[in-house]
Amino acid sequence: MAIKKKVLKNGLRIVAVPIKNAKSVTVLILVGTGSKYETKDINGLSHFLEHMFFKGTKKRPTTLKISETLDMIGGAYNAFTSKEVTGFWAKVDKKNTDVALDWISDMFLNSKFEEAEIEREKGVVIEEANMYLDMPQSYVSELFEELLYGNQPAGWRIVGEKENILAYNREKLIKYYKDHYASHNTVVCVAGDISAKQIEQKVQKYFSGIEKSEVPKKEATKEEQLKPAVLVHYKKTDQTHFCLGVRAYDMFDKRKYALSLLAIMLGGNMSSRLFISVRERHGLGYYVHTSVDSTTDTGFLVTQTGIKNGNLEKAVGLILKEYQDFKENKVSLRELKKAKDYLRGSMSLSLDTTDAQASFYATQEVMEGKTVSPEEKLKMIDKVTVGDIKKLAEEIFVPEKLNLSVIGPIEESEKGRIEAILKI
């Protein structure tokens, strides 16, 4: 499979991903903007604006007309906002490719952003924000990033705060849309059993009205930490949820390949060290996993679990013990090979659909300005040695990079006691 990339004169990038014999086609638009591009007074606006694209255009004047266009053909569709990317996608039977392109381009270019709809949507988004607050397993991850980055865009909630949401108006939305939605920070990706040449022609036709303008750059994230840090959020819960992790590398750092393997060995699957230790041997919690997050200017490795109240010190101790072991001892060739084989297999499974393929290539293109194939990524993974893993662990598993966010029935006064156990 050879992907085709074309850059139009106005800067819009088209990525075609031909997948022979695929029954579906996915159209994905990614824009290089998100909550990291916001200022404090409009934090959450990227996400709110994403909602407003589904409220009507001149051609499809209501939410019902927008949604039933694809519902009538059994299509799947949605949108999402992250720290650095906002996306809109539609997945349809390949015979309905033109319907998807017409629908998604109409929303993207011609949404009305009516004041009445903005006022109505405020209630929806506030309830979405409240929903995450009621989900400790989700909210503790937001608190972890708040702990890492503090009062700067990287540390703010993507959904925003209630006070900001209530203050949004059409003028603010239009300004943000015009400032941040432009041809040269937008990628249109189409994946499926397609002709790349035909797709390029169709996208040029449907997206001919896209604006060409300079977009503001995001604020550089500052990372300052001299000792282990703890954030405790009191909540009366049946479990204590926590994220324990370390600052690491952005997506342009080649050490990210070794980091991904380290995360797998720590807590990436059901035979990983922490799954066996925290869950199987000690029975402390139902879920435990380690993952990596890398963006254009930030990165971290984090282990998250939910445990029986009262077992925080024990669970944290078990995780730190494994962190320490990676520092002090080289992993076996067998364990490293298992992680590489797991990554190879899971990558293959994760790219089995047209929407996954579209996301894989478009995300790279909009964030890194280039694409690397799965095979090329796996070649980099294969080059990682046991020495690389140990060196990496020595670099990241140090006291001044340790961070712990906790949600549970724990008082702020207990913070000092918790800080005392963060030793590595």
| Residues that are catalytic | 50
Residue with tokens 């002090």: 328
Structure tokens at 305: 């679990």
Cα–Cα nearest to 262, from 99, 173, 100, 385: 385
The whole-angstrom separation of Cα 246 and Cα 122 is 35
Return all residues near 389 (Cβ < 8 A) that are at least 6 apart: 258, 261, 262, 265, 326, 330, 331, 336
The whole-angstrom separation of Cα 395 and Cα 258 is 12
The whole-angstrom separation of Cα 338 and Cα 221 is 35
The whole-angstrom separation of Cα 7 and Cα 184 is 9
R_g of the chain computed on alpha carbons: 23
The whole-angstrom separation of Cα 202 and Cα 200 is 6
How do the residues of the chain divide into helix, strand and coil, expressed in percent and rounded to 5?
50, 20, 30
The whole-angstrom separation of Cα 376 and Cα 329 is 29
The whole-angstrom separation of Cα 25 and Cα 92 is 6
> Is 237 in contact with 136 (CB distance < 8 Å)?
yes
Query: 219: which DSSP letter?
Result: P
For strands 239-247 and 4-7, give the pairing: unpaired
Cα–Cα nearest to 94, from 201, 209, 198: 198
Cα–Cα nearest to 360, from 339, 380, 382, 375: 375
Residue with tokens 């046991």: 386
**Going along 32-105, which residue ranges are E strands?**
76-81, 86-93
Which residues lie across from 90 on neighbouring strands? 27, 77
Query: 332: which DSSP letter?
Result: P
The whole-angstrom separation of Cα 307 and Cα 287 is 8
